[in-house]
Each structure stands twice: as structure tokens, then as C-alpha cells.
Amino acid sequence: MPLQKHDLVHELPEFKDKIHQLKMKNSHFSKLFDQYHDIEHEIHRIEAGAENTADDYLVSRKKKRLQLKDNLFAMLKR
């Protein structure tokens, strides 16, 4: 089974244009977006077996990704 991507545009396609606008105009959104992207990439590498980590670390990264997604989603709904 292929690994799922959780990039923000894939997760929230209805906000594609607004994500682009906020990335260009809102530095806080852009910073959170970059953090989300970096964590998503790290999780993908771990799940693909390219990196080995403790299970607790992977769980903590997934929690951080969810927290960032919630914050970004709240900003998108404004």
C-alpha cells in the first residue's frame, strides 16, 4: 500500500487558492505552512523506512503536524 501524502493542498483542496494567497501575504501563515511541510516530509521519510526513529518520536511529530494543520485551517476559515 503506498504511503499517503498529507501536504496541506492535498488535505484541504477547497482552500488551494486561499493557501497560496496567505503564503504570499501573511508571514505567520507562511512560517506555519513551512513548518507543516517540513514535518510532513520528515514523517513521510520515517514511514517509508528512509529514517529510523523511536515510535514515541514519530507519534510526537504526528501530533505536531495535526496541531499545525488545525492552526492553519483556523486561519484559512477566517
User: 40: closest CA among 64, 72, 13, 17?
Assistant: 64
Instruction: Give domain status of residue 5, yes or no.
Output: no
| pLDDT surpasses 70 at 8 | yes
Measured distance CA(38)–CA(40) in Å, rounded: 5
pLDDT digits (tens, 9 = 90+) for 17-39: 999 999 999 999 999 999 999 99
Residue 8 lies in a domain: no
The reported pTM is 0.86
38-62 confidence digits (pLDDT tens): 999 999 999 988 888 899 999 999 9
Whether residue 33 lies inside any domain: the answer is yes
**Residue numbers of the domain that contains 72:** 15-77
Domains contained in the chain, number: 1
